Amino acid sequence: MPEFRKEFGNPFQGVVYSMPELDALTSVKANTGNFAVYGNPDSVEFLAFHGGPFFRLQSRLKLLRQDALRVGPRSALFVALAWGVPFALGLPRSFSLESGQGAYLADLGVWAKFFIGIGAFVLAEQHVEKGLRASLSQFLQGSLVAPTCASAAASIVASALHQRDSWVAEVACLALAVSASTLSYLNFHRAESSSWAVEYLLEDNVITLAGWWSICFSLPLFVFLFMRVAWRHFVWLRMLRRFAKLELFLVATHPDGKGGLAFLGQYPNAYAMFVFGMSCAIAAAVAKHTLQDDLSTATLSMVMSGWLAIVASFFAYPLSAFTSPLVRLKEQGLSLLSIQATQFCRAAERKALGRNIISDSTPEADTELSDPGKHYESMRKLSTILFSRAAVVPVAAAALIPFAVLGAIKLPYKEVLSVLKKLLLL
């Protein structure tokens, strides 16, 4: 099979690709326009929210450009369509603030999903793309990947870009959005009281124009945007876990305490805006079932802890792939340093006493060895878990604040703040 050789700058020089690999990389270049140099991981930019049918549709509609996501104008437009249109269709009833009457402005779910959620999901694109691009750049340019694995690293990124642009994935996201709309339609027909979305009648409920718009556009858009972000995080997750299987030049005594990989543990903070939007929607759903009942501090703490655990798992799983190489590094390093420490200490003992206290007739060579004590201590303190609560305080706060606001409606704010502080500092 013919091979093609591209010469790149250090540290990835002389990378060899087979014909299928070269075809795949060329295809990615043609489809995305952001794989600047075929097969050179140093030059790759994993633009998380470029590519795919929805991106191309927005590009044709002039909502964004290849070099600018324009998240501000797009979020304003999507919120206006998802939240503003139902408000306009429900006039003049939309101005009512009577929650008992099912008023639009008093519906926490509407605010959480169609206003905050959709706006946050679109605004998050810029933060996520910037954060992931920086993490990937540091990983590939920080002498962490062995030069012999350059071809494999390039293939991993090419595969991730191909998955990112998958039309099948976005069709699946759209199908889930349609399913959510179908459930919403059925729920409206089962409603036992009138609201901005439905008029309750004995024979059959009648969905209002605002309700139809929320079924056909607002809710599908919310679900689609959420699933699109979740899918592209899955692509990133898979890429990280495949990177963890490569030969990595980890340094046990690295000052970051995590072999040189601590920066990866901070990538979840790029998703803070996305997590905030989703947390608002979840908190609103919880509020719908708890505002009518008494809410205790214990119940609030349990709900907040559970949601924080879910969010933490969402980001801890991709990082957990690096635990295995870090454990191997620590075990092998401690073993080698322990051997050197024994040799160093026995040499020092002979120098001080003229002989070793415990020895045999076999002479031991007096070689110059450096004291491995400091290296051993650094190795012993090496953390093998990249995910750290302290490193992801912003995303944890984004997950908990909506629930804290919910709790403050029913509980003394000092108790709510106490729960929030404990969970953030735990």
Pairing status of strand 15-18 against strand 3-6 = antiparallel
Q: How many residues does the chain have?
A: 426
For residues 228 and 118, what is the distance between their CA atoms, to the nearest angstrom?
12
218-239, pLDDT tens digit by residue?
999 999 999 999 999 999 999 9
Predicted pLDDT of residue 24 = 43
Predicted pLDDT of residue 102 = 75
Predicted pLDDT of residue 36 = 36
Instruction: Look up the pTM and report it.
Output: 0.83
41-50, pLDDT tens digit by residue?
445 678 999 9
For residues 47 and 42, what is the distance between their CA atoms, to the nearest angstrom?
14
For residues 124 and 147, what is the distance between their CA atoms, to the nearest angstrom?
34
Query: Which backbone phi and psi does 297 adopt, to 5 degrees?
Result: -60, -35
For residues 243-257, average pLDDT: 92
**Which one has a higher pLDDT value, 228 or 365?**
228
- The answer to whether 151 touches 16, Cβ cutoff 8 Å, is yes
Could you count the other beta carbons within 10 Å of the beta carbon of residue 376?
A: 19
Asked if pLDDT for residue 32 goes beyond 80, the answer is no
Asked if pLDDT for residue 7 goes beyond 70, the answer is no
Asked if pLDDT for residue 208 goes beyond 70, the answer is yes
User: Confidence band (pLDDT; 50, 70, 90) for 20?
Assistant: very low
Predicted pLDDT of residue 167 = 95
Asked if pLDDT for residue 8 goes beyond 50, the answer is no
CA–chain centroid gap for 419, Å, is 25
366-406, pLDDT tens digit by residue?
667 777 888 888 888 889 999 887 778 999 999 999 999 98
* Structural domain boundaries in the chain: 18-249, 329-357+364-380
**Which one has a higher pLDDT value, 34 or 355?**
355
**With the CA atoms of 153, 134, 137 and 315 taken in that order, what torsion angle do they form, in degrees rounded to the nearest 10?**
-30
292-346, pLDDT tens digit by residue?
667 788 888 999 999 999 999 999 999 999 999 999 999 998 898 888 888 888 7
For residues 175-201, average pLDDT: 90
For residues 103 and 136, what is the distance between their CA atoms, to the nearest angstrom?
47
Closest among 408, 128, 379 to 255, alpha carbons compared = 379
Predicted pLDDT of residue 42 = 46
Structure tokens at 411: 């509980």
Which range, 144-148, 221-225, 263-267, 351-355, has the best average confidence (pLDDT)? 221-225
